[in-house]
Amino acid sequence: MAATLEQTSPPQGQVGRPRREGSPWTGLWAVVAKDMADHLTSVRMRILELLIVLTASGTVYVALQNLRGTTGSQDRFLFLRLFTTGQDPLPAFVGFLSFLVPLIAIALAFDAINGEFNQRTLSRVLAQPIYRDALLLGKFLAGLFTLALVMAAIWLLIMGLGILGLGVPPTGEEVARTLIFLLATIFYGGIWLVLAMLFSTLFRQPATAALASIAVWLFFMIFWGIVADILAAVFRPVQVGLVQEVIAQAELQMALARVSPNTLYAEAMIGLLQPSVRSFGILLPSQLQGALLGAPLPLGQSVLLIWPQLTGLIAATILLFAVCYVVFQRQEIRA
């Protein structure tokens, strides 16, 4: 009898709290499909897509003109130069991506939660058999899949224009390097996507969430490098001028700079699209003994080189999503 009472009575301290029934992910893919459809048919998404297509076409055209005049078809990584070759006043395509990817991600997510709240649809959605877990993850996956779809379309556009303009197909290693670069770009956008979702959960006004997201992006884009230099000079001052002091200050400055997602993405981009890059840190002459300067690294070695940056981008995305998840779970959703 006592055992029966233990099984049927709720534990002490949980009286009155509703218990979850079923999987917390029920309705996840319905949310993903609905939000992806909203993203892909929205006017702002079409404007951003048009901007990126024009940017990609312009930068690839300039790169093709430069490659035809300066490089022969014997270049082993001719296709990679389509992404990294620029001409004043147009920067290389990867330079544009550093600006455009955060803007697309923020535009996809700055009103993800507060938009539902202001339209008084959030409580209605959660009144259905859809838990908050599925709603938040579904909105994040919808934004990430939309971003991946846009980036994959641009990747195919550049490769197609390259084949038409250069007259040669890309090698297997070039395709593999650009695909890993595409993966790094998606997770770089994922950081700004989930950051915009976090501000969308914290602030009720979409404009406030958008401004806060853009402010964080501009801080890391423009000011964080200056802050890293100042902090490195304060904590690792060069007092006597010894080589060890200079190296210690430079290493601290690089470590602080890598707090910024922009630095991680830039280093991953350089390591993948410029195979001759062997290190991002300070190289002493003793470390270069036996090395063939200018010789490209194999793909596996380049992936090992950028592995910390790639895992850093993925870890930052997961960490920010966890913070957003906790904030959303504790938030009052009734209007």
Please tell me the distance from the alpha carbon of residue 120 to that of residue 111, in angstroms, as a whole number.
Answer: 13
Please tell me the distance from the alpha carbon of residue 273 to that of residue 94, in angstroms, as a whole number.
Answer: 10
Whether residue 11 is contained in a domain is answered as no
Whether residue 61 is contained in a domain is answered as yes
Whether residue 1 is contained in a domain is answered as no
Res 310: pLDDT:
92
Res 183: pLDDT:
92
Whether residue 289 is contained in a domain is answered as no
Question: 261: Cβ–Cβ under 8 A, 6 or more apart, which residues?
Answer: 188, 191, 192, 220, 313, 316
Whether residue 318 is contained in a domain is answered as yes
Among 54, 42, 147, residue whose Cα is nearest residue 103: 147
Please tell me the distance from the alpha carbon of residue 314 to that of residue 180, in angstroms, as a whole number.
Answer: 13
pTM of this prediction exceeds 0.75: yes
Res 194: pLDDT:
94
The predicted-structure confidence for 123-175, as pLDDT tens digits, reads as follows 888 888 888 888 999 999 999 999 999 889 888 888 888 888 888 888 899 99
Residue numbers in the chain where pLDDT is lower than 50: 1-10, 12-14
Whether residue 48 is contained in a domain is answered as yes
Q: For residue 325, what are its two tokens?
A: 């998840």
**Structural domain harbouring 307:** 28-65+75-279+296-330
Among 234, 232, 231, 228, residue whose Cα is nearest residue 249: 232
Res 73: pLDDT:
54
Please state the φ and ψ torsions of residue 259, each to the nearest 5 degrees: -65, -30
In the chain, the number of structural domains is: 1
Whether residue 16 is contained in a domain is answered as no
Whether residue 4 is contained in a domain is answered as no
